[in-house]
Amino acid sequence: MSKLFSLVQYFLPHHLITKIMGVFAESKFAKNFLIRLFIKKYNVDMTEARNTCIDQYPNFNAFFTRELREGARPIDNNPRVIVSPTDGRLLAAGRIDGDRLIQAKNHCFSCNDLLGGNNALASTFSNGNFATIYLSPKDYHRVHMPLKGTLIKTIHIPGRLFSVGYATSSNIPNLFARNERLVCVFSTDAGLFSLILVGAMVVGSIKTVWTKEAPKVLATPEIKEIDYKSQEIKVNLDKGAEVGRFELGSTVIVLFEQKLMQLNSNIVASKPIRMGESLGLVGNNLN
């Protein structure tokens, strides 16, 4: 069944479906009914939300990207601890084998392809570490900093919008390098890391905290790169600070330079993880 579901997606009008769903999610039509239905179906814990009253959300999208109450996701203040940037299920994590990352069992893909053919950037992460986290509908859908850093570059890469759940990641080759995505590259005192926000079916947009306009799905057919080192206003974000949000679901991939990170030895793929939980430690030769 999962192979059939994946096969059917090759023939779907991804962007048209996404555009229609994006408009619907921004409307007020039946929004309270839809929110209540969603909470019940996915067992959403609204006690974690900053705003627990669904009547006060102007539309479904505002509910979907809801903020959490203060203290709902504790962040380890030890500067050597690297934390998960988001809630979700850890699809894969480990060493980047040269240029290859694990997508799912029996599937790998190229770091160079993931980064839009940027050979120089891909080589930076050669033999480093990575983690791929899938955000299910019930998860908190904001993305945060795994450690303190300064934004140096973003790359908006157009592409398809396949679903990114386990069924498709197990059956569609190069899934994350096919889908539209936003690459955010940060510098730290210990090296570079990159947060890659991967779009998916019905993801209306990906919004970041440093831009007023979201890189909309359907925005441009070309790769668009912005160099933030030359910008007058610098984007410096602390560990745990918000980076951006998905308007209707998806996946986050985080890449770490080889010298930057040592993954926790108890990291297990397919397990749930929450924003703020430890992924590893700064440094490559730690006890």
Report yes or no on 6 lying in a domain.
no
Report yes or no on 250 lying in a domain.
yes
The answer to whether residue 238 scores a pLDDT higher than 50 is yes
Of the pLDDT bands very low, low, confident and very high (cuts 50, 70, 90), residue 103 is low
Of the pLDDT bands very low, low, confident and very high (cuts 50, 70, 90), residue 170 is low
Please state, in angstroms and rounded to a whole number, the distance separating the CA atoms of residues 171 and 166. Answer: 9
Q: Which of 6, 14, 87, 205 is catalytic?
A: 87
Which residues span the domain enclosing 175?
81-281
Confirm whether 14 is a catalytic residue. Answer: no
Tokens of 52: 């627990």
The answer to whether residue 241 scores a pLDDT higher than 80 is yes
**H or E element that contains 63:** helix 60-64
Confirm whether 136 is a catalytic residue. Answer: no
Report yes or no on 161 lying in a domain.
yes
Report yes or no on 28 lying in a domain.
no
* Closest by Cα among 229, 120, 160 to 10: 160
Q: Is 15 helix (H, G, I), strand (E, B) or coil?
A: helix
Weakest mean pLDDT among 148-162, 231-245, 269-283: 148-162
CB 201 within 8 A of CB 134: no
Report yes or no on 54 lying in a domain.
no
Report yes or no on 41 lying in a domain.
no
Please state, in angstroms and rounded to a whole number, the distance separating the CA atoms of residues 157 and 224. Answer: 7
Q: Which of 163, 169, 205, 250 is catalytic?
A: 250
The answer to whether residue 166 scores a pLDDT higher than 70 is no
The answer to whether residue 256 scores a pLDDT higher than 90 is yes
Average pLDDT, the chain: 81
Weakest mean pLDDT among 87-96, 135-144, 167-176: 167-176
The answer to whether residue 72 scores a pLDDT higher than 70 is yes
Report yes or no on 60 lying in a domain.
no
The answer to whether residue 198 scores a pLDDT higher than 70 is yes
Please state, in angstroms and rounded to a whole number, the distance separating the CA atoms of residues 225 and 120. Answer: 14
Of the pLDDT bands very low, low, confident and very high (cuts 50, 70, 90), residue 251 is confident
Neighbours of 250 (CB within 10 A): 27
- Report the domain count for the chain: 1
Report yes or no on 15 lying in a domain.
no
pLDDT at 218: 42
Strand-strand pairing, 242-247 and 191-198: unpaired
Tokens of 151: 């934004």
Q: Give the mean pLDDT of 163-185.
A: 68
The answer to whether residue 279 scores a pLDDT higher than 60 is yes
Q: What is the pLDDT of residues 5-47, one digit of tens each?
A: 445 544 444 444 445 455 555 667 778 998 999 899 989 999 9
pLDDT at 13: 41
**Largest pairwise CA distance in the chain:** 55
pLDDT at 5: 43
The answer to whether residue 3 scores a pLDDT higher than 80 is no
Confirm whether 250 is a catalytic residue. Answer: yes
